[in-house]
A and B are shown apart, each in its own frame.
Chain A
Amino acid sequence: MSWLFAFSPEELTAIRLSLWVAFWAMLGSLPVGVALALVLSRGRFWGKSLLNVVVHLPLIMPPVVTGYLLLLLFGRKGPIGEFLAEKLGIVFAFRWTGAALACAIMGFPLLVRSIRLSIDAVDRRLEDAAGTLGANALWIFVTITLPLIVPGIIAGMILSFARALGEFGATITFVSNIPGETQTLPTAIYMLIQVPGGDLAALRLTLVSIAISMLALFASEALIDRASRRVQGR
């Protein structure tokens, strides 16, 4: 059984990088996700259904397509990539930041959907009641709406995190498979399967992958349960 714990430095790096990338993908997309969910749930404007479709596209399109589009837009020569690199010094291409961006985009529909459903479920009459007590829109959002949608936000974050951990196609297309920079668990496993004698290492990482996923799911269930109790005042 010793093979099970005989992680090579490269494997440990892949695990660490995977968690790191997934964490930032989740955190970075959160504010945008909440804002978009709010707009989609509450907004009434022309082109709302189009926006909804665009948000959900990464869920349906082949990940390779998403990765390639990212490469076109955020690559060194891409319009957005070039601008960010020159003006702000932010580079996505072939960096871990690019992997995080790809993961964030792929997990975004799940994040937005989960939060949006929880906003839809908020009793707006409670917000009216807060209004008659003198609260303005921002204060109502912070003290009433936000606490009530916390379970949905947590669920969305976990889904986004889980999606990021499993992301393969868009990541490898956009930022390739550079050990120590963009090589996450799935790409590492994929590489190991291609190399003769890499089977044991691939199995090790697979088990790690399963363990992380299960932990994340258990944690999310517990968190959501606690948050719902709090929200419902039980």
Chain B
Amino acid sequence: MLSVAVAHRLGDFLLDAAFESGGGLTALFGRSGSGKTSLVNAIAGLIRPSRGRIVVDGEVLTDTASGVFVPARRRHVGYVFQEGRLFPHLTVRQNLLYGRRFAPTSRRNGRGRAGEVEHVIELLGIGELLGRRPANLSGGEKQRVAIGRALLAQPRLLVMDEPLASLDEERKTEILPYIERLRDEFAIPIVYVSHAIAEVTRLATTMVVMSEGRVAAVGPTAAIMGRIDLFPLTGRAEAGAILNTRVAEHDIRFGLTTLRSAAGDLRVPYIDMRLGTQLRVRIRARDVMIALQPPQGLSALNILPGTVAEIGPADGGSVEMRLDCGGEALIARLTRRSVEGLGLAPGRPVYAVIKSIAFDHQAFAGAAPSTPGADADTRHG
């Protein structure tokens, strides 16, 4: 669906990156200066790479070998910029409709609901803002209008360059659900640039890890996040595994919800979601404890049996290890002393202990991108 291979020199910096993605939300993750923005600019046609080939939906947009370079305005790649870039002299409505006249008529109906101005306005909750000018909008409102503007131009691919970077935590949580709805409801392929692991693990179907202008790893988000060797790039402090779960039970009396996964059941603080809803959970390595026997008389509610699969290199006094729990990966961070004291080694059966309280709102993401709309009809009770 999307195939990118680009080599481009910018002063001393050499961007030499290639990846492929089958749709959903592809996150380009990496530190600032790793070439993420240059890469999406090449996809959008804002820079012309010295060498490279970019194909979207079977259409060649850039191919330096055969001299193909489709100009940005004919690419139909929607771009949501970090700073919004709303036109200051136009109202919100005029901003939203700016790209409409150039939208391809073939896709206007083909993509169905994406074409309906009202639907987009409603989805992004910007109906109240239509008569205002960008200077009178909050940061979060600006970004929602910017998303709407890109969407209404009927893009075949949406590129988002750190759309939340300039917003505070509250505004971020305000916008994340909208991006999830784009991914799932509109089923529009998205390339999402970010250096915030929480955003990426929550949103991304596929993760492209960038480092110094190169692609260090590509793969499904859960697989990438479970790779200990990538921690120097994905960040040790925020390291954690991703579990795909399903809402299985609600315990109203204690305010708990049970999530079922291949690794076992997790009891977490009550989540207002229907039974059967797919849910992606991030379990941070620092929230996982290891026991050799099934613990007794412990307040933690989640005890998952598994085996040690891999022990990473020591980093100061601590060590990360990957556990195999029923085929799912779980990452735990322990002190080196504990590893030695417990005699942990690959192959050793262990129990992972996770406090329910460790699951804060950041740990959850909406319906898993692999199975959008797989909600069961059962209502919770």
Q: Is this pair of chains taken from one and the same complex?
A: yes
Query: Chain B 68-83 against A: per-residue CB contact (8 Å), 1 yes, 0 no?
Result: 0001111111110101
Chain A residues within an 8 Å CB radius of B130:
none
Q: Does B150 count as interface, using CB distance less than 8 angstroms? A: yes
**Residue in B78, B90, B101 whose beta carbon sits within 8 Å of that of A132 in the complex:** B78
Expressed in whole angstroms, the minimum distance between the Cβ of A227 and any Cβ of chain B is 10
Expressed in whole angstroms, the minimum distance between the Cβ of B98 and any Cβ of chain A is 5
Q: Are B87 and A132 touching (Cβ within 8 A)?
A: no
Report how far A37 CA is from B72 CA in the complex, Å. Answer: 26
Greatest chain B CB density within 10 A among A126, A131, A143, A147 is at: A131
Q: Are B85 and A125 touching (Cβ within 8 A)?
A: yes
Expressed in whole angstroms, the minimum distance between the Cβ of B136 and any Cβ of chain A is 7
- Chain A interface, number of residues (Cβ within 8 angstroms): 21
Name the residue on B nearest A132 (C-beta): B79
- Chain B interface, number of residues (Cβ within 8 angstroms): 31
- For chain B residues 123-151, which have a beta carbon within 8 Å of chain A? 133-136, 149-150
Q: Are A233 and B98 touching (Cβ within 8 A)?
A: no
Expressed in whole angstroms, the minimum distance between the Cβ of B226 and any Cβ of chain A is 35
Chain B residues within an 8 Å CB radius of A232:
88-89, 135
Q: Are A233 and B102 touching (Cβ within 8 A)?
A: no
Q: Are A133 and B99 touching (Cβ within 8 A)?
A: yes
Q: Are B46 and A230 touching (Cβ within 8 A)?
A: no
Expressed in whole angstroms, the minimum distance between the Cβ of A223 and any Cβ of chain B is 16
Q: Are A135 and B79 touching (Cβ within 8 A)?
A: no
Report how far A198 CA is from B45 CA in the complex, Å. Answer: 70
Q: Are B78 and A233 touching (Cβ within 8 A)?
A: no
**Residue in B45, B85, B102, B136 whose beta carbon sits within 8 Å of that of A126 in the complex:** B85
Q: Are B89 and A134 touching (Cβ within 8 A)?
A: no
Report how far A185 CA is from B114 CA in the complex, Å. Answer: 64
Q: Does A87 count as interface, using CB distance less than 8 angstroms? A: no
Report how far A144 CA is from B86 CA in the complex, Å. Answer: 11
Q: Are B134 and A233 touching (Cβ within 8 A)?
A: yes
Name the residue on A nearest B91 (C-beta): A233
Chain A residues within an 8 Å CB radius of B44:
132
A-B contact pairs, 28 of them (CB 8 A): A126-B88, A128-B46, A130-B87, A131-B46, A131-B71, A132-B45, A132-B73, A132-B79, A133-B73, A133-B78, A133-B98, A133-B99, A133-B149, A133-B150, A133-B153, A134-B76, A134-B99, A134-B103, A135-B99, A135-B102, A143-B98, A144-B87, A231-B88, A233-B88, A233-B89, A233-B133, A233-B136, A234-B136
With A133-B73, A233-B88 given, name 7 new contacts (CB 8 A): A125-B83, A132-B72, A133-B99, A133-B102, A134-B103, A135-B102, A234-B136
